[in-house]
Amino acid sequence: MSLFAIIYMIFAYLLGSISSAILICRIAGLPDPRQYGSHNPGATNVFRIGGRWTALAVLIFDILKGMLPVWAGYYLGLTQFELGMVALGACLGHIFPVFFRFKGGKGVATAFGAIAPIAWAVAGSIFGTWFIVFLASGYSSLSAVITALLAPFYVWWFKPEFTFPVALVSCLLIYRHHDNIQRLWRGQEDKVWSKLKKN
């Protein structure tokens, strides 16, 4: 990697470290998502706390902080490997944010944003998988885990040169969902449907 790419990856990490869930909840006068619900500073937990519009704002911000560095990297002349590392940097920032004692969210929205610029077919396949599993099960966590498992195969099919960094991102996502996987196995994971019906 070039020196510029390393510096740019650090920038992507710092951008990813900005927790929109925590900041938006503060602005809206809502409880700290790290102290409420699942204790995860992400869109799903913010949905439980503040409803759909607050969660939508968090979701959009989290997607953009993964998407914008990678997209801009194309125009800055970064190589494919360097772009993959920038995507990884943004996800690492969201999951281990330097501004919030390295305790961040699960990284699903940021990972989607970082992977989406690779190819629209990849983005569509990832979103379609998440949406279908969510509609069928009602579990956001199950949707994320299955999508993370399949994402490297989608990338390998459409853009094989990005398979390795995307596989690293997928491993991070699955690791961050280990508690959810255990609750799913025990049948103790909460579905999102109940909250949707109330809103």
pLDDT per residue rounded down to tens, the chain (199 residues): 789 999 999 999 999 999 889 899 998 888 888 888 777 788 878 888 888 888 899 999 999 999 999 999 989 989 888 988 899 999 999 989 998 888 888 888 898 999 888 888 898 999 999 999 988 888 888 899 999 999 999 999 998 888 888 898 899 889 888 888 888 888 877 776 555 444 4
Q: Structure tokens of 126?
A: 């990832």
* SS3 at position 101: coil
| Selection from 6, 151, 162, 163 nearest residue 86 by Cα | 6
Biggest distance spanned by C-alpha atoms of the chain: 51
Which residue has tokens 């992400």? Answer: 42
pTM > 0.75: yes or no = yes
How many alpha carbons fall within 13 Å on the CB side of residue 88?
Answer: 19
CA distance 83 to 4: 12
**What is the per-residue pLDDT for 51?**
81
CA distance 69 to 176: 22
